[in-house]
Amino acid sequence: MENLHTTYLGLKLRNPLIAGSCGLTNSISNIRELAKKGVGAVVIKSLFEEQIHVEAEKVINNDVGGVSTFNHAPDTILSKRIYDYEEAYSYIYDFAKRNTLGKYLGFLEEAKKSVDIPVIASINCVSNQNWHAFAKRIEGTGVDALELNIYILPSDWRRSGEDNEKIYYEIISEVRNYINLPIAVKTGFYFSSLAQSVKKLSQTGIKGLVLFNRPYNTDIDIDTIGLGHGPIYSTAEEYTHTLRWISILSGHVSCDLCASTGVHDHKAFIKQLLAGATAVQIASAMYKEGFDIIPEILKGTSNWMKKHNFDTVDSFRGKLCKSNLENPAAIERVQFMKLYSGIE
Ligand SMILES: Cc1cc2nc3c(=O)[nH]c(=O)nc-3n(C[C@H](O)[C@H](O)[C@H](O)COP(=O)(O)O)c2cc1C
């Protein structure tokens, strides 16, 4: 049997396939099922920063009902903060009603006790406030690592690129100073010099980078002439963007790289590993195909390894990364010209 063992964030995983943070990792029965189906680790549904503000306001207002905050006039500080981060808003609105920080911590404890694979907690941050206290409490639940989903949409006219990047470093340093858990940072691709920014992030003492968060996009509904949302789930064609960047960054960063977005089958999974990913997360594929996609991906990978005489993941990981190229963009440009000039 091919050996799929991997070390990610310093944790031993039976294989590099990770159930990414999403609504499916928000129940103990699902987490048990995911472990049974064979995932190497699971990332729990995120606790969103805005939920913590809700909690904080609840304490300040002694409002045991909890979510009345969301009904405040839009000119309150909280509402303004939320409307500033439209993507997060739709995710958290319903979730915030049902969940409290205490419940999240209790859930993490239970999740950890329920399975014998690594359990990774997740918090979704949009600012550099208050993270150490919450991170410390998360560490106390016994989970194996913490994924910080830092998503700063560079749409605030008042903030420069440098201002935005500063928030990443402040969040990381605040959390790192208070906990010993391995930390992964899940981030997007809105950096003006992505390669350099990711490299700098990898040098902050974090153990891994999850590339990329898939942005929630708004859309326009021409029937209602109002706002709608873009596709919630990725398609199988979307893996190439992440593949390009894993391939470019692999070998240049000081931490593990975990691929996320568009992995729907064993082929895309293998490609990410060939590009240099330490591990790969899936979310949409589990929604679309059910949890049986997990053994399918693992079986497909084992068969491929057998066919190509690879005994371990390490023996082929990074075989096709671009670490030896000075400027991969120049090579891509030549390929692009060759390909497109042949199409009439
Ligand atoms: C319904 C849904 C809920 C999600 N919730 C979270 C979340 O709470 N935290 C997070 O970091 N990512 C969340 N994600 C993003 C996924 O973890 C993943 O990064 C993204 O969907 C791209 O991967 P995929 O192409 O395999 O779906 C969610 C995705 C979906 C579809």
What does the alpha-carbon distance between residue 292 and residue 38 come to, in Å, rounded to a whole number?
10
Q: Which backbone phi and psi does 130 adopt, to 5 degrees?
A: 65, 15
Instruction: For residue 212, give the ligand 1 atom closest to its CA.
Output: 19
What is the CA(210)–ligand 1 centre distance, in A?
A: 12
Q: What is the pLDDT of residue 101?
A: 79
Q: Compute, in angstroms, the gap from residue 80 CA to the centroid of ligand 1.
A: 24
The pLDDT assigned to 196 comes to 94
Cα(72)–Cα(290) distance, rounded to whole angstroms? 39
Q: Which ligand 1 atom is the nearest neighbour of the CA of 264?
A: 26
The residue with tokens 């003006």 is 192
What is the distance in A from the centroid of ligand 1 to the CA of 14? 22
List 161's β-bridge partners, or say none.
none
Task: Give how far the C-alpha of residue 25 lies from the chain's centroid of Cα atoms, to the nearest Å.
Answer: 13
Q: What's the gap in Å between 250 CA and the centre of ligand 1?
A: 23
Quote the pLDDT of residue 52: 65
- Which one-letter amino acid corresponds to residue 104? Y
Mean pLDDT of the 262-289 span: 98
Q: What is the mean pLDDT of residues 199-212?
A: 97
Q: Which position has the token pair 């006039």?
A: 73
Atom of ligand 1 nearest to the CA of 232: 31
| Nearest Cα residue to atom 2 of ligand 1 | 22
pLDDT of 243 reads: 96
- By percentage, how much of the chain surpasses pLDDT 70? 83
Where are the strands (E) in the chain, listed by range? Answer: 6-8, 11-13, 17-19, 41-43, 47-48, 119-125, 145-150, 183-187, 208-211, 218-221, 226-229, 256-260, 279-282
Token pair 């995710």 is at which residue? 91
Q: Is the pLDDT of residue 64 over 50?
A: no
Q: What's the gap in Å between 21 CA and the centre of ligand 1?
A: 6
Q: Place 59 in a pLDDT band, splitting at 50, 70 and 90.
A: low
Of 139-153, 186-200, 202-216, 315-329, the poorest mean pLDDT is in 315-329
The residue contributing the CA closest to ligand 1 atom 19 is 213
Pocket test for ligand 1, best of 214, 280, 293 (most atoms within 8 A of CB): 214
Q: pLDDT: is 105 or 102 the higher one?
A: 105
Place of tokens 């560490």: 139
Whether the predicted pLDDT of 74 surpasses 50:
no
Question: What's the mean pLDDT in 318-326?
Answer: 79
Going from the Cα of 67 to the center of ligand 1, the distance in angstroms, rounded, reads 24
- Does this model's pTM top 0.85? yes
> What whole-number distance in Å separates Cα of residue 107 and Cα of residue 111?
6
**From ligand 1's centre to the CA of 108, what distance in Å?**
18
Going from the Cα of 333 to the center of ligand 1, the distance in angstroms, rounded, reads 31
CA 146 to chain centre: 11
Q: Best substitution site from 17, 18, 21 to test ligand 1's pocket, by max atoms within 8 Å of Cβ? A: 21
Strands 17-19 and 218-221, by their bridges, are unpaired
CA of 125 to the centre of ligand 1 (A): 15
| Higher-confidence position of 281 and 92 | 281
Question: What mean pLDDT is reported for the chain?
Answer: 86
Inform me whether the pLDDT recorded for 307 exceeds 90: yes
Question: How far from 19 is each of 30, 63, 146, 185, 220, CA to CA, in Å?
Answer: 11, 35, 14, 16, 31
Residues flanking ligand 1, CB < 6 Å = 20-23, 45-46, 122, 124, 149, 186, 213-214, 232-234, 260-263, 282-285
- As a whole number, mean pLDDT of residues 209-225 equals 93
Tell me the C-alpha distance between 76 and 137, whole Å: 29
Mean pLDDT of 227-243: 95
pLDDT of residue 180: 94
Is the pLDDT at 154 greater than 80? The verdict is yes
Would you state the structure tokens that stand for residue 160, as one six-digit string? 């420069």
User: How far is the C-alpha of 44 from the C-alpha of 60, rounded, in Å?
Assistant: 28
* Ligand 1 atom closest to Cα of residue 186: 11
At residue 269, does pLDDT exceed 90?
yes
Over residues 240-266, mean pLDDT: 96
